[in-house]
Structure 1
Amino acid sequence: MEALAVRLSGLDPYVDGAMRIVAFYDTLMRRRVDLAALARASAGLAECVAGIRLHGTGRSTRVSPHGTQASTPPAPASTEAPITLDEEEIGTVWLERPGPPNPLDEVLLDRFAIAAAAAAERYGPARTTMADPALVELAVSAESDDAARARALRLLGFAPDLPVHVVAVRTCLPLDRVGTLVCPARPVKAAPLADVGVILATTLDRTGFPAGVRAGIGATDSPDRAWRQARTALRFTSAREPVVHHAELGALALLADIPAEAVRDNPDVTAIARLSPEDLETLDTYCATASVRRAADVLHLHHSSIARRLDHIGKTLTLDLTTPTGLTRARLALTTWRLLDD
């Protein structure tokens, strides 16, 4: 490493210095240094503590300018940069410079992060969540044979003796973030398929889905069957129930197989379409609770207000919502009407 022993303090702060930093890290990458050696070289170049943290392990490496493990308490990072691999953020590199940042710190961190990604991929543990969509599709497609599916799952990092949960997701958040939240223990893989995201995970924490995410969960016996179930369950999600497991739908899952033309011709469903958003929320809450008072508690309204709304809704639907038959018809109509949007 002696040939690489340059210092930022001796570099021109502009183009020449930046080019020498790029050459410095190119040499490190050609020598295939590991993360520990990369941190030592970066700390020596920057003349301050340099650090690396990989999200997959949660561990941090802090090295002093002398090439030893930093013994001082961690200081706030003066500058930092994300480590990105396959368009996924897998960690962070940073400098702990006591004074103001050096003009070349940004260039150094950029190359430091690139070199760290290469080292993590080569030596591990990179543990990226995002996977090749073609490989994920092969694992969940009904057109794949058992041998191809098993090979795809093995390449994705799943052991043959472990169950694989399959989740269909609609979200504006990055899929890798959602995947690590619902399966922090890993392995977990995610990829976009058409307009839906798919997450494959060995374990699944239903409470880990962030707000705003809609998720349908399939069974674990067969990935292709689970994927069909997960997409069906996703259609039954709502603002009140954003995460739905197919197994919990029971006979309600049969509603997803009704042709759209038959749904649109049903008078109960067409009546649902005439309700206002406020009435739809009231009816949905009442169907879920089967109680005027419990619905009032959920909606933070007086029970008499809910009773008046339900009376109005019942007249619009020509149903008596106080009877079991009327409530069942209303729930089926509301659920089936929602399926038209998916």
Structure 2
Amino acid sequence: MKELAGRLTALDPDAGAAVRVIAYFDRLAESRAGVEALVRGAAVLAGCPARLVDPERRVHMRVEADGTRRDGEAAPDPAWPCARLSPDSAAVLWLERGAGEAEPRGTAANGLDAEYARAVPETADAQHVAVAPSVVDAVILERAAGAVRLVLDRTRGRAPADDPALVETLLDATAPEQARLHAARRLGLDLAAHARALAPLNGRPRVVPADAGPVPQTGHPSAEGNGRPGRGLTSPAAGAVSDPRGGAGVLPPAARPATPVPNAARPGAGSTASSAGLHPTPTRLDPPSEGPHRTPAGSRFPAGRLGVGPAVPVLELPRSWDGARTALRFTAEGTPQDPGPSVVHADELGGIALLARLVAPGSEPPEDVRALETAAATAPWLPATLHAVASTSSLRAAAAEINVHHSTLQDRLSQAEHLLGWPVRTPQGRLRLQLALTMRRLARP
């Protein structure tokens, strides 16, 4: 590695310095160095203070360029180069170097080998050379963040965020309380806060903090390709879903959207050549929100039909899981033939949830549901039209929902009433229609 660094330095000083950084952090990782030693190494090699902020694990650490630890309370500057320890984590490693600032060069940039760099925390003095920070800073961030993540996962008892066995234990009402507490801790949940279970149609059970933000309300077109989210009797938000019988999985709280981390600054990304590669740009991020719970990005929720359980204390998550599975039965695909909400919240169902006890999946559907199915086979437009009538405040709103003229809607409803055998434009008939559409979803196998 020394010979390679020397040759690269003759061709490109930045590339040579990047190789020395890689060798330095590899040596620290092999010797099982602690978190403070890794942050100190980043500060000394970069020639500027380095800071680690991990609100989930309550780690706040700041080391000066001379290797002295001096923790501070001030929030990180978003302009500083930084790297997240993992894409879905709030933990961030920062280099306290402002944009356009003349870059103090640390030991890596001065051609020192790994053996000398190991002694730097006790002996280094800051050397300042005004150069562009992009290459060396990016590689320091990448290697240091990856090494810090491994140490924290090993020493702080943090399990992978998608450990199926832990989620199954957490949602199992028959599991001992101590086993569920252990699973919650391993998954990084705050035992003093509330959480909720998610039941995707064809995915693993998920668990999210209750204050992690709303489930995305994207939904699916409710009718005739108009692109509007489907709405239904329960007025749940439309969005993304889970098969309660599938394997277990965990949805960790997601970090606030921020500027993507380039490969050269992302832990574990790229090869040695790409890390030393030629033009990585230091990462700029918004500071992570304090605390372990952040608003999740919509992409982190499973796509499709989703049942959302109520927010409960962590030890009561089996109850939230039961509610999520019930809510899942009230969801729809959001297509013209299966209109309705693709995401349903259990705590918004109220007394309507009692219908789930009366209509078993795959059972013989009630008479009104059979009438709906027969009518839909005759008129393919009927499910979307009736759903619009049942879920909007007026017939004009329903016509706008499915993008047809008001007179066309009136003609359709006259035909629908003839096929169904009951009126749908009276208050009683509309309630009967709403119940029939809901029971149609519940009767599915």
Normalised to the residue count of structure 1, the TM-score between the two structures is 0.65
| Cα displacement (A) at 1:215 | 3.6
Residue of structure 1 in register with 2:279 after alignment: none
The alignment status of 1:22 with 2:25, answered yes or no, reads no
- Contact (CA 8 Å) 1:168, 1:198: kept in 2 or not? no
How many pairs does the alignment contain?
A: 316
| Partner Cα distance (1:274, 1:61) in 2 | 66
Gaps of 5+ in 2: 101-130, 214-241, 254-292, 335-339
In the superposition, relative to structure 1, how do residues 290 and 103 fare at CA in structure 2: closer, same or farther (>3 Å)? closer
The change in CA–CA distance for 1:101 and 1:236 in structure 2 (over 3 A counts) is same
AA aligned to 2:327 is A
**1:272–1:334: 8 Å Cα contact kept in structure 2?**
no
CA RMSD of aligned residues (A): 5.1
- C-alpha offsets along residues 9-38 of structure 1, whole Å, 9 cap, x if unaligned? x96759875554234224444363335x53
Query: Residue 280 of structure 1 aligns to which amino acid in structure 2?
Result: P
Are residues 1:110 and 2:142 paired?
Answer: yes
Is this contact kept in 2: 1:34–1:123, CA < 8 A?
A: no
* Residues 262-308 of structure 1 deviation map (CA, whole Å, 9 limit, x = unaligned): 13985224136438776434322321346324545766776545434
Match of 2:198 in 1: 167
Equivalence for 1:132: 163
SS of 2:161's partner is coil
Tell me the residue number matched to 1:45: 45
**How does 1:1-342 map onto structure 2 within 5 Å?**
20-29=20-29, 30=31, 32-35=33-36, 37-48=37-48, 50=50, 52-54=52-54, 56=56, 65-66=65-66, 74=77, 76=79, 80-84=82-86, 88-93=88-93, 95=95, 96=97, 98=100, 100-101=132-133, 103-121=135-153, 130-145=161-176, 148-149=179-180, 152-153=183-184, 156=187, 165-169=196-200, 179=208, 182-183=211-212, 194=246, 210=298, 214-218=306-310, 220=312, 222-238=316-332, 241=341, 242-246=343-347, 248-255=349-356, 257-263=359-365, 266-271=369-374, 273-274=376-377, 279-289=382-392, 291-296=394-399, 303-339=406-442
Whichever residue aligns with residue 130 of structure 1, its letter is A
What percentage of residue pairs aligned between the two structures are identical? 28
> Displacement, 1:138?
1.4
RCO (CA 8 Å, sep 6+): is it higher in 1 or 2?
A: 2
Note closer, same or farther for the CA distance 1:18–1:171 as it changes in structure 2 (3 Å cut): farther
Distance 1:160 1:272 in 2: 51
Q: Take 1:250 and 1:122, find their aligned partners in 2: how far apart are those partners?
A: 47
Deviation at 1:320, TM superposition (A): 1.3
The 1:146/1:56 distance shift into structure 2, 3 A limit, reads closer
Residue matched to 1:188: none
- Please give the TM-score of this superposition, normalised by the length of structure 2: 0.53
In structure 1, C-alpha distance between the alignment counterparts of 2:396 and 2:59, rounded to whole Å: 51
Q: What runs of 5+ residues in structure 1 fail to find an aligned partner?
A: 1-6, 185-190
Q: Which amino acid aligns with 1:25?
A: F
After TM superposition, give the deviation of residue 113 of structure 1 in Å.
1.3
Question: Quick one: structure 1 residues 310 and 151, their matched pair in 2 at CA, closer, same or farther if it must change by over 3 Å?
Answer: same
Aligned residue for 1:139, secondary structure, equals helix
The residue aligned with 2:284 is none
**Paired letter, 2:431:** T
